[in-house]
Amino acid sequence: MTTVTSAARVARITPLGELLAPPRITAGLLRLAVQLVLVVALWRGLYSHTSSGTSAGLTREQAVTYAVLAVLASRLRSLDRSAGRDTVLQHIHFGSIVYWFLRPLSPRRYYALRALGDQLYGLLWLLAGYAISCAAGVVEPPASAAVAAVSALSLLLGQWVLYYLMLMIDLLCFWTVRNQAALLILTFAQNLLSGMYAPLWFFPDWFITMSAFLPFQATLAVPLSLHVGRLPMSDAFPQLALQAGWVVLLAVLARLLWHRAARRVVSQGG
């Protein structure tokens, strides 16, 4: 029971920080509403000049649904821990990272629990926004319960992949002290190659082929394409297997980096 309680307390740190600062929630809600209105207007405007009503294999309704879900999914990854000074970069800068390795809870488990709390809080935003968007007729629901289940599983695997990508960028701080440049590069690559800015189906064939060899499209493009029906259910299993493969590969690399990072931490005078 003590272990479960400790885990729950760690996981709720970031959500509590958000809930105890109402201006953050108000600003986040306003920003999300503006983003949704703009992307809906943008994609409807783009499709108004398409005589066939279909572009890159997507109808206007599919494209709008994809864009809205991409914006909502950003809430799963946009929580900021810097205000609470609990990022790896800040801990390394102030030297407090040593406490992660001295307390009973391992740093790897602490980092994972914090990320879990962030994800669950962001999921509430996503589900609320999705329900409102469906009620307003802005997005189309999945074609069947099977499609909904498969796309939800794909989204889970995608967030898992993204977790390990962000973790490895944070662990880079143990060797470089700072990781702002690497984080900016990863953020841009993630948003572009995952289909956050626009569905990958609108890009040239060479770009789609290149992105297939990288883990980024597994984080967002795959689950959203399954949800809107651009990827048929017959392709679901290979895509899920590929996502799971990325999770395993990145998990092994992350575990290796954690062990190497621990060797670089030195506690003096304790």
Model pLDDT for residues 110-138, shown as the tens digit of each residue: 899 888 888 888 899 999 999 999 999 99
Q: Can you tell me the distance from the alpha carbon of 108 to that of 126, in angstroms, rounded to the nearest whole number? A: 27
Tokens 């809930």 found at = 19
- The kind and range of the H/E element at 58 are strand 58-59
Q: Which residues pair with 58 in a beta bridge?
A: 55
Classify residue 268: in a domain, yes or no: no
Task: Count how many domains the chain has.
Answer: 1
Q: Can you tell me the distance from the alpha carbon of 116 to that of 20, in angstroms, rounded to the nearest whole number? A: 19
- Averaged pLDDT score across all residues of the chain: 87
Classify residue 269: in a domain, yes or no: no
Dihedral pair phi/psi, residue 54, rounded to 5°: -135, 140
Q: Can you tell me the distance from the alpha carbon of 177 to that of 93, in angstroms, rounded to the nearest whole number? A: 7
Q: Report how many helices (DSSP H) and strands (DSSP E) the chain contains, helices first.
A: 12, 2
- The secondary structure of the chain in percent helix, strand, coil, rounded to multiples of 5, reads 75, 0, 25
Confidence of residue 102 (pLDDT cuts 50, 70, 90): confident
Classify residue 220: in a domain, yes or no: yes
> Both ends of the chain: CA-CA distance in Å?
30
Tokens 């003590």 found at = 2
Q: Which of 73-77, 163-167, 220-224 has the lowest mean pLDDT?
A: 73-77
Classify residue 202: in a domain, yes or no: yes
Confidence of residue 270 (pLDDT cuts 50, 70, 90): very low
Give percent of the chain with pLDDT exceeding 90. Answer: 47
Q: Is 137 left (phi over 0), alpha (psi -120 to 50) or beta?
A: left
User: Is the per-residue pLDDT at 58 higher than 60?
Assistant: yes
Classify residue 250: in a domain, yes or no: yes
Dihedral pair phi/psi, residue 55, rounded to 5°: -145, 135
Q: Can you tell me the distance from the alpha carbon of 59 to that of 74, in angstroms, rounded to the nearest whole number? A: 23
Amino acid at 91: H
Domain that holds residue 190: 2-263
pLDDT at 266: 65
User: Is the per-residue pLDDT at 204 higher than 70?
Assistant: yes
Contact, 76 vs 129, CB < 8 A?
no
Classify residue 61: in a domain, yes or no: yes
Q: Can you tell me the distance from the alpha carbon of 12 to that of 17, in angstroms, rounded to the nearest whole number? A: 8
Q: Can you tell me the distance from the alpha carbon of 31 to that of 25, in angstroms, rounded to the nearest whole number? A: 10
Contact, 124 vs 50, CB < 8 A?
no
Classify residue 270: in a domain, yes or no: no
Q: Which of 53-62, 85-94, 231-240 has the lowest mean pLDDT?
A: 85-94
Classify residue 60: in a domain, yes or no: yes
Output b/e per residue, 38-48; b: 16+ Cβ within 10 A. Answer: ebbeebeebbe
If you write DSSP's letter for every residue of 170-230 in order, what string do you get?
HHTHHHHS--HHHHHHHHHHHHHHTTSSS-GGGS-HHHHHHHHTSSGGGTTHHHHHHHHTS
**Interval 206-228: pLDDT, tens:** 999 999 899 999 999 999 999 99
